[in-house]
Each structure stands twice: as C-alpha cells, then as structure tokens.
Amino acid sequence: MTERVVLAYSGGLDTSVGIGWIAEETGAEVIAVAVDLGQGGEDLETIRKRALDCGAVEAVVADARDEFADGYCLPALQANSLYMDRYPLVSALSRPVIVKHLAEAAKYHNATTVAHGCTGKGNDQVRFEVGLGALVPDLKVIAPVRDFAWTREKAIAYAEERNLPIDVTKKSPFSIDQNVWGRAVETGFLEDLWNAPTKDVYSYTEDPALNFGAPDELVIAFEKGVPVSIDGKPVTMLEAIQELNRRAGAHGIGRLDMVEDRLVGIKSREVYEAPGAIALITAHQELENVTVERDLARFKRTVGQRWSELVYDGLWFSPLKDALDSFIAKSQEHVTGEIRLRLHGGSAVVTGRRSAESLYDFNLATYDEGDTFDQTLAKGFVQLWGLPSKIAAKRDQKG
C-alpha cells in the first residue's frame, strides 16, 4: 500500500507547491487538510479544488469556526489570556485545533507522516509538532520549508515549471496569519523596529485617530464566564466575536504593535489586530472584578499568565494546561452579569456593571449615609497586619 502524508494546507504558495514536492520526494500520496477558523478570503470549495489541482489525492476541508470559538477562544477569554500582558494569542490558539484535524485525518486515512509549512525560526513548528506528538505520537513529521531550505524563490520556480494554479506574481511585503480571534502581521519593513506601521498593514480595524462621531455603547451579558447576549440579543461565542470585531474594529480598537519573546529564543516585532478579543477580555475582566473573591482573583491572574505561556509555547495538550483549565472553569461559577462598554477612539471602556452575583456591597463601600462598615475594627486590624514588619524593623534598626 502506498504511504500517505497528511499536509496542513492553507491554499497559499508554500503548501500548494508542497503537495507535488512531497509526493515526488517521498513517493507518498498527499492528503491536504484545510481548516476554516474564520480567516475570511477564499471559500473552502475553492481551496479544496486547488489542492486537488496541485496533486493531492484527496482534500479535506473543515468548517471549524464554531469549534474554534467555543473550544479555544472561550477558554482564552475565561483565562483573560494575554501573552506578555498584551497579545491575545491569535495564532497560538489556532494551531491546536488545526493539529486536532490533522491527527483525525491521519488516523482516518492511515497516514504515516504529517507535513506542515512552518519555518525553523518561528513558534508554529513547535505548536504543530508538539501537539501532534501528544495526539499521534507514532507519526513522522516533515517540514519542507525548514528541513529542506525551501525558499520562496524555489517555490515560485517549482510552480511555474509545473503550471500549478497559483498566483505567484503578487508578493505581499508581510507575512499574515488571521482567524476570527484576530490578525497577525510580521516581516517586510516591520522588521526595522523604528518603522511605524502603514495603513496597509491593517485590515480588521479602522484608524483610531479618525473622527468616528458618536461612541458606540453596548451591553454584553455573561453567564458563568460565557458571553450570551449583546444588547439583549442572544449570541453564540462565534457571533459575539464577529459582532465585536465589526463594532470595535470600526473604532480602531485592538491594534497592537509589540516586540515579543518567541519560544525559540529570539525577539520578533509583531503587529496584531484583535478588536473582538480585546473588547471581550476587557468586559470579562471587569465582571470578574465584581464577582470573584479577592484571593481567588489574585491567584487566577497568575494562573491566566501561566496558561497563556503554555498555549503560546505549544503546550495546549499538556497535563499542566489541562489542570489549569479545571481551575479556570471553577473560577467562572459566579461570573454572571452585564457589562456596559463604550467603544470610541481606539479604546473599549467599561462604563457600567451589574450582577446578581456581585460581591460589591454599597452599604459597606459608601462614605455617605447608610455606611454599615464598623470602622472601630480597623485600628486593631492594622496593628496586627503590620506586626511582623514592625518586629523585623526593630530588629534591623538595632544594627
């Protein structure tokens, strides 16, 4: 029986050329697997047909938008996941769902090898291969761009020689990866850290410096940490992201320009757009401030940071990440209520909060009539709280 290779297929130059190249080099049949995560652009049927025209014996296309939103974006939202306190894991979140579909296709088609188009300088090679190692540990993995120095020039020449149905004349100055959770842009003139992004870098957001007129004010309702409605209209997780991509993006919200620490040890300059993700995380964080007990909230911030690092580093399927998932899910039991957001001028600002699960007690918080806080208890509390520091200070001052 002829060996089979399952290829993570995007429909672009490198993976389209990779179909024929892998078949020629290995003698194997290539099965292309494309996954729709809400990235827009070409429809799945067009991508499927291109894969077959480029030599794939079969092309598997999966509409995983709801799966991605519910199973990957929602956990990130509940973790308030921001790598380096800024990046909402646009690409990192998408890789494990692609890996899952690759593993399923490999099992179904009795493939011996999985292939991807990642380079040796980025994070994605780790995310793909570590994920595959967790789900299908006996399969081999090949990466033509990384392992065989497959350059863009070689890919173009290969496509032209074989008349492959790929547009190789247009070359974007950027490397772009996008899905419904956001958009990542790198390379080109952005590699010079002094160069400011130009307007053609952006697609999901309008320029926040423009005059947008009146702010857009909306109310997001959550149940146990899950967004369930916007302005009273029920939404799925996918619909919530799409609606806020549209409305927050129209006000320039979610633009990030940062130098981040890649897993492989180098720093890279990345420009991100994530209007829906940033708006949802802003609202969710504030609802947690209202409904989550202090010590749980403090520890959860540490857990969220570690969760983000694990996902960024390609360890979605790791035991630690699974354990942190359980903690985060427990922390969401009382995260129910409504948050009012004002979208304007590049910012999503919380202007209102209400929840039947609120831990905010007006009569304890107020300084006006109705104050029920017993201030006579405070003096002794302060003295006892500071006692260890006071004793240590007396000791240290003896010297």
Residue 175 annotated as lining a ligand binding site: yes
Instruction: Quote the CA–CA distance of 95 and 102 in Å, as a whole number.
Output: 10
C-alpha 68: how far from chain center: 10
Residue 254 annotated as lining a ligand binding site: no
95 a catalytic residue: yes
C-alpha 370: how far from chain center: 46
Q: Tell me the CA distances in angstroms from 166 to 8, 22, 45, 51, 163, one per residue in order.
A: 17, 17, 15, 10, 8
Instruction: Quote the CA–CA distance of 337 and 28 in Å, as a whole number.
Output: 55
CA proximity to 69, closest of 283, 238, 244, 273: 238
Q: Please, are residues 11 and 3 in contact by the beta-carbon 8 Å criterion? A: no
Residue 129 annotated as lining a ligand binding site: no
Residue 87 annotated as lining a ligand binding site: yes
Residue 16 annotated as lining a ligand binding site: yes
C-alpha 308: how far from chain center: 9
What is the number of H-type helices and E-type strands within the chain?
15, 14
CA angle 252, 242, 253 (to 5 degrees): 15
Residue 15 annotated as lining a ligand binding site: yes
Round the CA-based radius of gyration of the chain to a whole number and report it. 25
CA proximity to 59, closest of 118, 16, 13: 16
Active-site hit among 4, 14, 81, 355: 14
Residue 389 annotated as lining a ligand binding site: no
175 a catalytic residue: yes
Residue 245 annotated as lining a ligand binding site: no
DSSP 43: -
331 a catalytic residue: no
Residue 272 annotated as lining a ligand binding site: yes
Q: Concatenated DSSP letters for 263-328? A: TTS-EEEEEEE-HHHHHHHHHHHHHHHHHS-HHHHHHHHHHHHHHHHHHHTT-TTSHHHHHHHHHH
3 state DSSP class of 31: strand
Residue 8 annotated as lining a ligand binding site: yes
Residue 10 annotated as lining a ligand binding site: yes
Active-site hit among 4, 95, 183, 255: 95
Active-site hit among 53, 175, 257, 342: 175
Q: Please, are residues 60 and 32 in contact by the beta-carbon 8 Å criterion? A: yes
124 a catalytic residue: yes
Query: Which residue reads 């009146």 in tokens?
Result: 214
DSSP H or E segment with residue 312? helix 294-312
CA proximity to 42, closest of 20, 69, 16: 16
Instruction: Quote the CA–CA distance of 170 and 156 in Å, as a whole number.
Output: 11
Residue 312 annotated as lining a ligand binding site: no
Active-site hit among 124, 183, 255, 331: 124
- Residues annotated as binding site? 8-16, 87, 117, 119, 123-124, 127, 175, 260, 272
Binding-site positions for L-citrulline read 87, 123, 127, 175, 260, 272
Residues with catalytic roles: 14, 95, 124, 175
Residues tagged in the binding site annotation for L-aspartate: 119, 123-124
Annotation: binding site for ATP: 8-16, 117
